[in-house]
């Protein structure tokens, strides 16, 4: 009887030990490697950009752009597209960042015709993209920095172009009609008084013509070289820009 109790107790102990061993043993095929506490595994991109391929063009860089079509306040409207292309390379740290022949696209954000009595034509253009010869495209904020011509000037911080005024033309119109009126009055009456009356009538006619006529429209001809300035820095992936 005593031997039987010893055998039963041994069996129970062996069964308990086997059960405990199965509980702590890892499942078949399970990964027994433990991650270090406080670490995170990061996925590595298949084709990471190499830093040597990236060129940053700083804010304030000026880029010459040849206008691909004429623009005039006579018919230009807001949201009309503007097209041009660069005609000189932009070099950063000895590397060509923007080559000649890169297309530049923009939009007219304001177009104002000159008034009949006062006011000048105004045009506001913002550039929004660069398109490299191979099709690589970058979005950008660019504004007009300068335009050629003595009769146009830049106005305000946004880069508004202001056209020529019409004061000289208006004065010439009044003077011309005054002279014609004086000649007609003198011939009709053959008296100094007739000359004065004719001159006055001519001046009135000239002033009326001025009031009915607008000032000269602001016109940028096709082929005009504008100066675009970057309003923020842009980063160019040279490996993509040069891809054939």
pTM of the model: 0.60
Where do we find the tokens 């000189």? Answer: 88
* Other beta carbons within 10 Å of 116: 13
For residues 102 and 85, is the Cβ–Cβ distance under 8 A? yes
**Taking Cα atoms as reference points, which of 168, 210, 190 lies closest to residue 182?**
190
Position 215 scores a pLDDT of 82
CA dist list (Å): 224 to 27, 69, 87, 133, 159: 77, 9, 11, 21, 17
Q: Residue 54: beta bridge partners?
A: 237
Series of mean pLDDT values for 10-residue runs along the chain (244 residues): 46 46 46 48 53 91 96 93 96 94 96 77 94 94 84 78 66 47 49 53 47 76 94 93 77
Position 131 scores a pLDDT of 97
Looking at domain 51-165+217-241, its CATH architecture is Beta Barrel (2.40)
* Other beta carbons within 10 Å of 198: 22
Position 164 scores a pLDDT of 78
Where do we find the tokens 């069964």? Answer: 15
């Amino acid at each position: 009887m005593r031997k039987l109790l010893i055998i039963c107790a041994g069996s129970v102990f062996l069964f308990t030990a086997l059960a405990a061993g199965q509980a702590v043993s890892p499942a078949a095929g399970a990964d027994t490697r433990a991650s270090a506490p406080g670490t995170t595994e990061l996925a590595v991109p298949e084709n990471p950009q190499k830093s040597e391929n990236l060129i940053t063009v700083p804010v304030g860089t000026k880029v010459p752009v040849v206008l691909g079509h004429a623009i005039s306040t006579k018919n230009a409207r807001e949201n009309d597209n503007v097209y041009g292309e660069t005609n000189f390379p932009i070099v950063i740290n000895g590397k060509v960042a923007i080559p000649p022949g890169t297309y530049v696209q923009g939009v007219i954000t304001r177009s104002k015709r000159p008034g009949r009595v006062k006011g000048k034509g105004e045009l506001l253009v913002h550039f929004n993209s660069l398109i490299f010869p191979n099709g690589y495209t970058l979005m950008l904020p660019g504004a007009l920095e300068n335009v050629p011509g003595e009769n146009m000037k830049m106005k305000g911080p946004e880069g508004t172009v202001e056209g020529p005024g019409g004061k000289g033309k208006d004065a010439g119109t009044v003077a011309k009609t005054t002279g014609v009126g004086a000649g007609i009055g003198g011939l009709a009456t053959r008296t100094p008084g007739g000359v004065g009356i004719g001159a006055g009538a001519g001046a009135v006619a000239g002033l009326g013509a001025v009031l009915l006529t607008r000032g000269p429209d602001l016109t940028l001809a096709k082929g005009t070289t504008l100066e675009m300035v970057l309003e923020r820095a842009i980063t160019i992936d040279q490996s993509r820009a040069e891809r054939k």
